[in-house]
Amino acid sequence: MSSRYNSILTEIYNEALPLKQTGTVANYIPELAKIDPDKFGIHLRTLDGDDFFIGDSDEKFSIQSISKVFALALAVSLIGEKVFKRVGVEPSGSSFNSLVQLEYEKGIPRNPLINAGAMVVCDILIDKLKHPKKEILNFVRKLSGNQSVSFNEHVAASEKEFGFRNAALANLVKSFGNIHHTVDEVLDIYFHICSLEMSCRDLATAFLLFANHGKLPNTHEEILTKSQTKRLSAVMQTCGFYDEAGEFSFTVGLPGKSGVGGGIVALHPHKYAVATWSPRLNAKGNSVMGMKALELLTTKLGSSIF
Ligand code: DON
């Protein structure tokens, strides 16, 4: 199997390369626009602990919205099902920072993976954690097995400076009473989790938790129950790519999550987690080469969850 994975990753890398110039780097967060758009890496880690990687897979980048999965996992581990009283589980069919649904759905975000939903999750974490930033960071470090994972303060500050739409979302949710702490406190946590920097290796390692039904693969420590893990993977499947969640399911067929830093992570329950990074995005905010690479992966392996 190992030589098969190795040769498939090489094939995928080369077949995705013609898309190298397609798409644009996110520039609505000025600090993100500074990234080299030609970076491209893939890392696949199996539940047996085997690693397969190619390209810039060990370089850290801004994980952005991928962090919403970590925040959700931590919140669910702390308060369980109660999270879903304050945030829904339906795909939004809208962009990740859309304001419109929030108004007529009375401040209950459609799901925890759109910006407004992640803000409600941050509000829960502020409530339950004594030192939210530190404890969120420790959680992600534990999952990734990498103590050097950290926030990028420049990115967090850049998001804050230009985060007019996010501020609007937080204020709108707060006006309906679904944010309990101050908008400033919630946005501070939200912008910091988005600024987390991790490599494809770190992300693939961390997402093995979901492939392993909520237990850390190395220590077998249970972080989430089987049922909670199912719920998280289901939310990733239906909501992880915003208004392109259908397309990702259709072409790749794995639960996963993207971020505007160009990262995508996906997992195959019982088998592996895989992360890709290429900063050029399509119009929906998802990495062009990452989407292609993962489509090629499940096609060549002849296996998806369906
Ligand atoms: O709030 C924002 O707009 C960014 N910090 C995160 C957006 C993001 O990654 C959406 N993902 N595709």
- Going by C-alpha positions, the residue among 232, 210, 190, 187 that lies closest to residue 80 is 232
Write down the residue that tokens 């859309």 correspond to: 98
Residue 276 lies in a domain: yes
Residue 306 lies in a domain: no
Greatest Cα pair distance, the chain, in angstroms, is: 56
- Going by C-alpha positions, the residue among 39, 92, 103, 46 that lies closest to residue 68 is 92
Residue 156 has pLDDT above 90, yes or no: yes
Ligand 1 site, residue 159, Cβ cutoff 6 A:
yes
Ligand 1 site, residue 132, Cβ cutoff 6 A:
no
Residue 2 has pLDDT above 80, yes or no: no
Distance CA 133, CA 86 (A): 21
Ligand 1 site, residue 64, Cβ cutoff 6 A:
yes
Ligand 1 site, residue 166, Cβ cutoff 6 A:
yes
For position 179, which CATH number holds? 3.40.710.10
Which is the catalytic residue, given 69, 83, 235, 242?
Answer: 242
Residue 112 lies in a domain: yes
Return the ligand 1 atom nearest residue 195 CA. 5
The boundaries of the domain holding residue 208 are 2-301
Classify 169 as helix, strand or coil.
helix
Return the ligand 1 atom nearest residue 159 CA. 5
> How many residues in the chain?
306
For the chain, the average pLDDT equals 96
Domain count, the chain: 1
pLDDT digits (tens, 9 = 90+) for 182-241: 999 999 999 999 999 999 999 999 999 999 999 999 999 999 999 999 999 999 999 999
pTM exceeds 0.85 for this model: yes
Could you confirm whether 104 is annotated as catalytic?
Answer: no
Return the ligand 1 atom nearest residue 64 CA. 9
Could you confirm whether 260 is annotated as catalytic?
Answer: yes
Given the DSSP bridges, would you call strands 272-277 and 41-46 parallel, antiparallel or unpaired? Answer: antiparallel
Residue 206 lies in a domain: yes
Return the ligand 1 atom nearest residue 258 CA. 12
Could you confirm whether 175 is annotated as catalytic?
Answer: no
Q: With cut-offs at 50, 70 and 90, classify the pLDDT of residue 3.
A: confident
Could you confirm whether 65 is annotated as catalytic?
Answer: yes
Residue with the larger pLDDT of the pair 214 and 27: 214
Residue 287 lies in a domain: yes
Distance 303 CA to ligand 1 centre (A): 29
Distance 260 CA to ligand 1 centre (A): 5
